[in-house]
Chain A
Amino acid sequence: MTPIAQVSNLAVAFPSEGNGWRRVVDGVFLTVGEGEVVGLVGESGCGKTLTALALFRLIPEPGTIAAGTVRVGGEDVLALDDRRLSSLRGGLAGLVFQEPARALNPVRSIGFQVSEAARLHLGLPAGRAASLAADLLAEVGLEGPERLVRAYPHQLSGGQRQRVLLACALAADPRLLVADEPTSALDTVSQRQLVELLERLRARRHLAVLFISHDLALVGRLAERVTVLYAGETVEIATRRELFEDPRHPYTRALMQAQLRVEGDGPARLPTVRGAVPRAGEWGSGCRFAPRCPFAFERCHTARPALSELEIGRQARCFLVGDAEEPSGQL
């Protein structure tokens, strides 16, 4: 499969309190094939959002991409000039953020905002903007699209705004949709509806989707392949079936066991992972999961495992399954 997006050994750094830089993402690998749905899963502070922003070269100042490569649509994102960068953002690839309340402009009509990308990137004449916006709003499952075009963000519910943002991201007919935690503010019924909507959009438009979520169960409903992040690095890449049937990284295994399930005979304890995710950039020289890992041995605390290919398309960063280690002195 041709990758539509490819991130290799990405590092993102922010100035630290002293005068140096601190890498808060360091070692992210990610590939999204043309028309493929990939899940990017990990807990808060593990680098999910920064990885998504790096695809658009939108790392907020004063942060910077300190190492690695980012390619979207076959082009080196880090080398794009302004014109090509703007045709990537919202043109080739659309981005849906987590907080629908803040992403929409309160003083512009829904129709104006939904059609913006099409006017900008496809040169759509203003006269056709309203009908395109209505079509898009209908496509994302909103009722009364002709009326909605003239509405303003404050008149919509949270779930409606989320769908409006999705319509905005689709306006210029992108080949890649990056959805960053689009469901985390929604209840479980709305989560299901949104995932099913993404599934339909993806099939109809032959759209590649990068679905970012902290919720492994949700990722498992939508993604064909899953990339697991922990503490700023990719720790496992697998098809969803491989991942759910046979997780290779102890962190993935722990996440799997911590999933809530509906079956249950009343109150029962959940398996847990001791400790907490380390704060961004505050990790030692060994494996970043070692302090919480029930299987850690001596080497895990001193050397950092590299992401090793286990089978074709299957990778994990753990000494239990691969011997390769990262060169020391990275930090």
Chain B
Amino acid sequence: MGSSDGAPILAARQVARRYPARGGVRWGRDRELVVALDGVSLELRTGEILGLVGRSGSGKSTLARLLLGLETPDEGEVTFDGRPLESLTGPERRRLRRDVQVVFQDPHAALDPRQSVGGVVAEPLAVHGLFPRAERRGRGKLLLAEVGLPGEDAFFERSPRGLSGGERQRVALARALASGPRALILDEPVSALDASVRGQVLNLLLGMHDRTQLTMLLIAHDVRLVARLCNRVAVMAGGRVVEEGPTRSVLESPTDPATVELAAAARWLSEPPAGGAARTPGEPGSMR
């Protein structure tokens, strides 16, 4: 499997990010700042599937936006192949845009309804000037086939609007793969999908990793997902990475309270239910 000692493609070093507070009525200039990230360091190493797990609001998605270069850290730096993002030249920036792709939770919002499925998938080829115009359509169909979608013309011309959730997420994945990226950032990629379809998408990701050793960062609040896919995991809480290591050892002997809580919730969801009536309240649940 992936060489976990691979060189980092992306790395955050001591990054901090603050936002003006949301909610609450506050006038004037002295808006309170909310610390979204507080001295976070994380490496995404070549060939690995790294899990980034944490509760809502723990800073996972903010960290992803910094790694993608969509936002700039207030402190610290993000590097791409060892070079700080701010120091990248124009061509290097374009290479980052090509080499690192992202798939979000809600493919509804991510797919332009005015484009055809084929247009959505082939657009990055044009943007990055990757194939001669005449070959882009054929390449787009290959990408659709790669994610298990029909490669025929009728599907190519369809609007993303009529697709099921699983199909939309596959289209988003095909688009992400179009530029031949070295790393994928997957932000809750299956949490909007039905259980019977979720497995198909997860297996697709695993199959892809087996074949091409594509580096992946999987962001999720559900430890069960990370346990299934990742060799290494980082746990976030309150804008910090509180624990990091091989998935199995982190989940089996968590040291930080945030990891303990997340792992307990995942175990609670994994257990076969007790028979008969519901548990009496006050009983410490099913934490074993």
Query: Do the two chains bind?
Result: yes
Interface membership of chain A positions 238-276, coded 1 if the CB is closer than 8 angstroms to chain B and 0 otherwise: 011100110000000011001111111111111111001
Of B25, B228, B272, B273, chain A has the most CB atoms within 10 Å of the CB of B273
Q: Which of B198, B231, B275 sits near A241, CB closer than 8 Å?
A: B275
Of A191, A222, A272, chain B has the most CB atoms within 10 Å of the CB of A272
Asked if A86 CB lies within 8 Å of chain B CBs, one says no
On whether the beta carbons of A258 and B281 are closer than 8 Å, the reply is no
Asked if B279 CB lies within 8 Å of chain A CBs, one says yes
- How far apart sit A240 and B200, CA to CA, in the bound complex (Å)? 26
Asked if B227 CB lies within 8 Å of chain A CBs, one says yes
Asked if A76 CB lies within 8 Å of chain B CBs, one says no
Q: Given A199-B278, A258-B199, A263–B56 Cβ distance below 8 Å?
A: no
Please indicate the chain B residues that have their CB under 8 angstroms from the CB of A266 in the complex. 1, 230-231, 247-248
On whether the beta carbons of A188 and B228 are closer than 8 Å, the reply is no
Considering the complex, give the chain B residue whose CB is closest to the CB of A222: B278
Q: Which of B196, B202, B227, B267 sits near A254, CB closer than 8 Å?
A: B196
Asked if A196 CB lies within 8 Å of chain B CBs, one says yes
Q: Which of B196, B251, B280 sits near A277, CB closer than 8 Å?
A: B196
Q: Given A43-B196, A259-B195, A276–B228 Cβ distance below 8 Å?
A: no
Q: Which of A187, A241, A268 sits near B56, CB closer than 8 Å?
A: A187
Asked if A135 CB lies within 8 Å of chain B CBs, one says no
Considering the complex, give the chain B residue whose CB is closest to the CB of A226: B273
Q: Which of A159, A202, A223, A262 sits near B263, CB closer than 8 Å?
A: A262
Considering the complex, give the chain B residue whose CB is closest to the CB of A196: B285
Q: Given A217-B269, A258-B198, A277-B164, A155–B56 Cβ distance below 8 Å?
A: no
Interface membership of chain B positions 214-234, coded 1 if the CB is closer than 8 angstroms to chain A and 0 otherwise: 000000011111011111000
On whether the beta carbons of A260 and B56 are closer than 8 Å, the reply is no
On whether the beta carbons of A260 and B194 are closer than 8 Å, the reply is no
Asked if A84 CB lies within 8 Å of chain B CBs, one says no
On whether the beta carbons of A260 and B228 are closer than 8 Å, the reply is yes
Considering the complex, give the chain A residue whose CB is closest to the CB of B54: A187
Asked if B166 CB lies within 8 Å of chain A CBs, one says yes
B188 to A: closest C-beta gap in Å: 10
Please indicate the chain B residues that have their CB under 8 angstroms from the CB of A244 in the complex. 272-273
Q: Given A188-B265, A191-B265, A269–B194 Cβ distance below 8 Å?
A: no
Interface membership of chain A positions 260-298, coded 1 if the CB is closer than 8 angstroms to chain B and 0 otherwise: 111111111111110011010000000000001000000
- How far apart sit A269 and B205, CA to CA, in the bound complex (Å)? 10
- Give A177-198 interface residues, CB cut-off 8 Å to B: 186-192, 196
Main secondary structure of the interface of B (DSSP, over half): helix
On whether the beta carbons of B56 and A190 are closer than 8 Å, the reply is yes
Asked if B38 CB lies within 8 Å of chain A CBs, one says no
Interface membership of chain B positions 245-288, coded 1 if the CB is closer than 8 angstroms to chain A and 0 otherwise: 00110010000000001111111111011111111110001000
A142 to B: closest C-beta gap in Å: 15
- How far apart sit A216 and B264, CA to CA, in the bound complex (Å)? 18
Residues on B close to A: CB < 8 A? 1, 23-25, 49, 55-57, 164-167, 194-200, 202-203, 206, 209, 221-225, 227-231, 247-248, 251, 261-270, 272-281, 285
**10 sample A-B contacts, Cβ–Cβ < 8 Å, listed by A number:** A157-B23, A188-B223, A189-B55, A192-B265, A217-B270, A260-B270, A262-B223, A267-B228, A273-B199, A276-B194
Interface pairs A-B: 6 shortest CB-CB: A270-B199, A260-B224, A241-B275, A187-B221, A43-B194, A272-B199
